[in-house]
Structure formats: structure tokens, C-alpha cells
Structure 1
């Protein structure tokens, strides 16, 4: 049989930090690695609605690195378009993906209805990108794989998932076929995750696709963990204010809870009620509580991130609305992490205009998001059609990020057991990706490039040695 050509097309996370999608073409076979939604700036979000570059029905498989929306959120749209193949992922990613996608389907339907009622859509009858039925048709397609086992994906394609230490179930994925191989970093965690087992070192590959979210910066290494956050919470409570922490439902909320537990145990902050106001975050919390998944660190117990003096789980919308009638000092943890949607919006609308209150941002705020505007010192932000004055204290705590910084990424590359032919630097804002590619070239003397959106490259097989 003649050797099939192998190409890689960058359909997302190229020139931007969102929308991860990589199309691996092996002869006539098409495999999509990650199926993420574009988020943030409008120019990228509009791509979610564009016709997919290939017929979704022609894609044989989807391979997932992890379950963040910018890596899995487009899956139901693919299914709506005709995709019906297996979705390969770790069990943790399957569990979190189910939660993320069901939430996304509901949100898509709500946004379409809001657009219809508000009349701000250019369509007379706006429709969602996908709906809950598309999500329910997607979930049975998942196929669970184990870490560090070669998985036969058929037709000569072999995959291997290695812990990435980013969120529950997250992995780097190595694919090998037709004498060549490509390693997708996925989103890489730091050397030590506060709750989950540390990332592993995958086998090297001829080609590497490496993320660069924090490719131009280093995380702080403070002498006292989260000192600024603890100080901000204490002074806010002393002046009778409330603290709102926009936090991603997946992993970030659980990490925030762990540090709040630690701060209260060490008496670094007052014991006040802590509210988790996110149905999605509560479902994810249940997954993190499930020790049968075997992903918790050996030195972490469930009580280390749930054992608060008063933990209020606001599961229903009525529970959430009831918080608007409370003015006693408390800490509200609500999604979304970049303040783009979810229940955190009505808390921000209520609390931002009052100087007694504090908003604590807990990680990367993508360009074009409401969180970035708040981080950059905007005097007002638009929430549900109304401009809200920003008077509350704004605090940034980037210690929470479970994205590896530039040195973490370099260490991951250095640990690979072979020098790749090319490192494709993706999943970063353009200037950041270019900076990180330059660092790879300077420190490792490797060929590192930043691919363009839509670019196609050939993954050539290794040449036999003489």
C-alpha cells in the first residue's frame, strides 16, 4: 500500500488564544484534535457561525486534550452538521465535558431567545449555534481512554494521552501514523497543581504543537501565597463590603475554594460565608470530589477544598437571586472567569458601583472580554445592555492560574526525548506566541513557528538512517 500523505490544518488557536481546532488529514481520513469555541473578541466569535471548512460528516474522529469550552464547545455544532464518529478523551475529560456541553447548550438557547425578545439580532428568528438536543446527541459519542496507554484508533493511527496537570482529565496527546508523529501539548499546567496530580512527560514526536498562553511572562513566586488576596478580603470585610470572585467553573472555582479553606484555617481572613453561585461549578465540584477517578494529589483530601465554616451552594436561580437581598459580608464565587456571562454578571451589576466592595480577578483575562476591561481600569462596563459604574476595589491575583508560564512551557519542551522537526506555537495572542517562538529558537535552537489561521502544513515521515 502506498504511503498516505499527512497534513495538519490550523482551524483555531492560531493567532489567538481560543478556539482550539487542528485538522489532521491522513490520506482521505480526517481527524479533528480539539473542537473548541472561539471566545473573546468579536472577530473570532463570528467564526463560530461560519461554515466549517470541511464537511463535519467527513471527519472520522475527534481527539480531545481537555474539557474547557475553547477546546470542546464546538462539538455539538459538528454533530448538528453531521459528525457521528467517536470522541476520544480521558474519563475525567468525558465527565467534565458532559457538564460543560450541557451548560453550553442551555446557554445557546437562552441567548437566542434573549436576542429574539430584545430585537438586537439581525435575524428575525435568531437560532442557537446548537441546542440541548445536539448536546444529548454528542455525549454518547465519547470513548474513554486511560493515561499512558497506546490506543489503537484504527487504520494505523495510534494515540497516547499523558497528564497535562491543567484541569481534571487534561492531557497532552501524541498521535503516530504513517511513519510520522505529532504531539499536541493541550493546555499545560504548572509543575505542581494545587489539587490534581502533577503533569507527566510525554514521548517526543517529530512535530510538536505547543500552547503559549503565558509564553511571554512568569508567574509570581511570593513568599506568602495569595497575600494580596487575603489582605483585600480582610479589609473588604472590615469595611462591611462583599467580595465577588469571577471564576471559571472548571478547576478555578475548586482552586479558589482550596485557598479560602487554607486562609481561614490559618486565620489569615475572617470566617464569613462563602457562596458558590454556579450550577456548573457545583457539578464540577462533585467530579473533583469523586476520588474513584484517581486524579487528586496524594496529599490532598476533599475537605481541603470543601471544608469551609459556611459553604453555601446556590444551585437554583432562586438561590442566586436571593443573594441580592443579602448585604452582610460574604465571599461570592461565581462564573464566568472572564465575566462574559453567567450569574457573576448580576453580582457585578449590584456590587461594582459601591466602593466598599471588591472584585478579585483570578487569572488570564482575554482581550475583548469584560474581565479584561475591568482589569485594565475601565470606568464603567456594559452588563445586560446597561453601563455600570466601576467604583469597587479591583484586585488581580494571577497566582491561581493553572496555565504554565513561559519557563514551565520551556521545561516541558526540554524534557521531550527528541528534538522535533518543527514546533508550532499556538494558543496565544499573536505577540505572545511570537515571543515564545523566539525564546524556543534562542534557548533550544529548535525550529519554532507561529502558524496562521487556516494554514496547512505537511507532516513528513522521518527519513531512514543510512
Structure 2
């Protein structure tokens, strides 16, 4: 069994790893690279393998940095089966169609500003390219080991990251590979905790937060409550960049739990996303994947998606109307890294106000607008125009969808023997810190993946 690393190898986005075993070629994830314009242009590059040479694609979950280049892979020749958990398959067309729509809008906007002699902007793929990819999808359940190709067996375990997220177990050539996908922190609302795996010949593990530990849930709850109270006193708005799948649902869950304590009845709450209604429907079809506490919350009236002052805005006109509200609004909008989507319009209208509070609840990759704001930028450019940043920034780590250093070390510590470990999906600072901690504790040499690196198991 051989593994080649072609994405999320020294960075957090663009997950893509190739497994060659039993005479077959299996790709793990085919994610989009996110970040600066220069970084995102790499999505247009040729794949480092012939798409038609692949026998299968296995997807760990439906976030764009793990599935975002699937339509492109199919467009360029891939025709094999695509394996994903059934909940991930439900989310997949929602995510990909939105990604394609945003890409088309960005290309149109760029072409309107195009100067003479500049190349015409084109989207990575179009909405019409999603359907051919979805026709290749085969859905799986958790905890069922089954053959997917001659000599290759697969089992998906719950990763506790988003709905339908998976740890991938792959058997071939008498060897076993475990790919963590993205691991959620223990105690994440709505979702069950990540499954433990005890045996492997090689482990590929994410390392997004390998150099830090999150604030505990209780501290996070107090922090959010304090932010809302301060924003109310400042007579401002609260903007929360959040991915349409995962953090948005968790935020609404917390809003339900702390409705009275945070005095949320005085606010107007907006989930501003054309995907929101579709994602709500997907969650409604998969209550069996919720943890016990979440199932109880969903049985209450109202449930988190039907709060009395929650407005799920789908149309552009509805979204634009939010920007006429100068105070008293909590706006949850994508994208989670402020790299595109409707949150950009809300930031453009609110960043210059000192009364505005911007709350980041997830990882902000290098090169993204979210990262620049978190790092203290005083001026930012949005849609070709510069804006002074007077708004107050908050990073609430306790709501991250990724587990922290403690959680990663604990999950790897569940393997009975200490199999070879390769860290993926992390910047070098985080990976080096985690590699050092695990190496010191377990007496092993932890490897950091690099683009093009190949390992034999």
C-alpha cells in the first residue's frame, strides 16, 4: 500500500490524498484550496494524476475544502464510484451548487471590472457540472465494513465534525490505513463524539489546532453572552461568519439553550444563506445521527430552526434589506472564513462602525479576509473597495468544529500500538507543535506531509 499526498499538506484546505493498493487507485477527498486569490488559482491547475486513472473516490465529509473540486475531477475524466456517508451525500449537492453559484458570480463581477488586455475570468465549474458528479455517488452508513473494489474494503466511523463526517478505515494488501478526516471536539452540540479506532498500520490525522487548546464550553457560553450584552449596549450589530453546515446549526442550538440568559428575544436574528433552508431540511432527515441531548432539544417547541425572531433569508433582496438595520441584528452568514458569500456585503456595510461586533467561530486560513481581520488589519478590500476596520473583533475558539491539541493527542492515543503517524490538514506551526508533543509522549517520529510525498506501508 502506497500513499501520495497532494493536498492539505502544509495547509488547512484542499484535502486530497491518493492511496495505491491491491492494484487500485483510491483518492481520499478532493477538496478546494481556499485562501488568497493566488492560492485559489491553484484550483485550476492540472491534477497531479490522471483523473481517469482513479478507481474510486472516498469523501470524509461535505465541507468544500474536502469536496470542492469533485465536479472538476469528473469534468476532467473521473468516472469511478464516489463513496460518502448518506448524510454527507444529502449535503453534497447543496454545498457544490452553492460553490458553483458563487464562482459564477465572482467571475461575472471580475469581468465587469476587467480592463483591456486582461484575460476573461471563468468559474472553476458551473452549477450544471454538479449533477454528473452526484450521479456517481454511492452512500454508506457508519460502522459497516464492506468491499468497494476487488481487494479493497472500507468502513466509515463518526468523526463528530459535521453531520455525516467520517473517519475512514481502508483495508488492502493486508494493511490498514486510517484517515481521521476532520475530528470534532468532544461534547460538540448536536453531534455524537468522534469514534475511537484502536488498530492501524498507518494513520493520517488532521492537525488544524495542533498548537492550541480551546476554551471550555462553559467559558465559551459566558464569552458569547458577554459579546451580545456589549453589542446591545453599543447599539450595534453582531456579524458571525459561519459555514452554512456545522457552525450555523450549532449557534442556533446555543441560542435555544441560552435564550433567556442572553436575552435574545430583544434581537432580530438572521440566518442569511440561500443554502439555509435546504440544510435545515437535511438536518431534519437525520435526527438518528444526533446525540441524546440534541434529540431532546429538537423535540421542544420551538426547535433551534424555528425561533420566534429567526429570519432565514434566501433571496438577494432579503439579504440586502438586512444592511438597512443599524443596530439590534445578529447576522449569521457565509462564508465561514469571510472569503466569499453574503457575509462580505454585511462586513462592507458594518466594519466602519465602532458599534459593530464581528465574532469568528471557526478556523481562519491564511490569505482569507477572516484571517486578516483576526490578525488586526486596519484596512481591508472587499469587492474592489477599501474599508477602514473600526469594528470590534472576537475569536470564540470554544465553538470550533475541530478538536484541539488535547483532543488530537487523545484520539491518537486510542491506538493500542503506536502506528506510524502522518499529520495533514494543518499549517506547519500547528503540525510541528503537535508532532513534538506526540513524539515526546509516545516515543515515535511523527511525519509531516508535503505535496508529492509518497509513503509505503
Does the TM-score normalized on the shorter chain lie above 0.5?
Answer: yes
SS at match of 2:7: coil
Shifted more, 340-349 versus 33-42: the winner is 33-42
Which residue among 193, 196, 214 is the counterpart of 2:191? 196
Unaligned runs of 5+ in 1: 1-5, 460-466
1:267 Cα deviation from its structure 2 partner? 4.3
Matches for 1:104-253 after TM superposition, within 5 Å: 104-119=99-114, 124-221=119-216, 223-253=218-248
Residue aligning to 1:22: 17
Q: Does structure 1 retain, via aligned residues, the 8 Å contact 2:243–2:335?
A: yes
Whether 1:374 aligns to 2:373 is yes
1:352 and 1:105 map into 2 onto residues whose CA distance is 27
The residue aligned with 1:447 is 445
Task: Give a deviation string over 1:78-100, Cα, whole Å, max 9, x none.
Answer: 01101111110101111111211
Q: Distance in 2 between the 1:27 and 1:19 partners?
A: 26
Contact map agreement 1:261 1:306 (CA 8 A) in 2: no
1:296 corresponds to: 290
- Select 2:423's aligned residue among 419, 422, 425: 425
Deviations 1:330-356 (A, max 9, x none): 111111111111011111111111112
Q: 1:163 to 1:27 in 2, by over 3 A?
A: closer
Q: Which moved further from structure 2: 82-91 or 231-240?
A: 231-240
- How far 1:266 sits from its partner (Å)? 2.7
d(CA) in 1 for partners of 2:144 and 2:311?
40
Q: 1:275 maps to which residue?
A: 270
Using the TM superposition, give the Cα deviation of residue 214 of structure 1 relative to its aligned residue in structure 2, in angstroms: 0.5
Match of 2:364 in 1: 365
1:439 alignment partner, SS class: helix
Q: TM-score of the superposition, structure 2-length normalised?
A: 0.95
Task: Confirm or deny that 1:36 pairs with 2:31.
Answer: yes
Q: Shift in Å at residue 311 of structure 1?
A: 0.7
Q: TM-score, normalised by structure 1?
A: 0.93
Matches within 5 A, 1:310-325: 310-325=309-324
**Displacement of 1:224 after TM fit?**
4.2
Tell me how far apart the structure 2 counterparts of residues 83 and 287 of structure 1 sit (CA, whole Å): 27
Instruction: Give the superposition deviation at 1:53.
Output: 1.1
User: What are the Cα deviations for residues 71-126 of structure 1, in whole angstroms up to 9, with x where unaligned?
Assistant: 00010010110111111010111111121111112122222222222216976333
Match for residue 435 of structure 1 among 421, 426, 433: 433
* Count of aligned residue pairs for this structure pair: 452
125-134 or 83-92: bigger deviation: 125-134
Question: What residue in structure 2 maps to residue 462 of structure 1?
Answer: none
Of stretches 223-232 and 369-378 in structure 1, the one that deviates more from structure 2 is: 223-232
How far did 1:159 drift? 0.5
**Cα 1:201–1:27, aligned 2, differ >3 Å: closer, same or farther?**
closer
1:328, CA displacement in angstroms?
Answer: 4.3
Q: CA deviation at 1:42?
A: 4.6
User: 2:71 maps to which residue?
Assistant: 76
Q: Which residue of structure 2 aligns with residue 353 of structure 1? A: 352
Helix, strand or coil for the counterpart of 2:95?
A: helix
Q: Distance in 2 between matches of 1:418 and 1:198?
A: 22
CA drift of 1:221 comes to 2.0
Distance 2:125 2:327 in 1: 40
Distance 1:346 1:250 in 2: 20
| Partner deviation per Cα, 1:388-435 (whole Å, 9 max, x = no partner) | 111112122111102010110111111123321x10111100121122
Q: 2:50 aligns with which of 37, 50, 55?
A: 55
Quote the Cα distance in structure 2 between the aligned partners of 1:258 and 1:58: 44
Report if aligned partners of 2:276, 2:314 keep a CA contact under 8 Å in 1. Answer: no
Q: Does 1:327 align with 2:326?
A: yes
- After superposition, the Cα gap between the structure-2 partners of 1:120 and 1:452, relative to the gap in structure 1 and judged at 3 Å, is farther
Q: Secondary structure at the match of 1:313?
A: strand
Aligned Cα RMSD in Å?
1.7
Alignment of 1:388-407 (within 5 A): 388-407=387-406
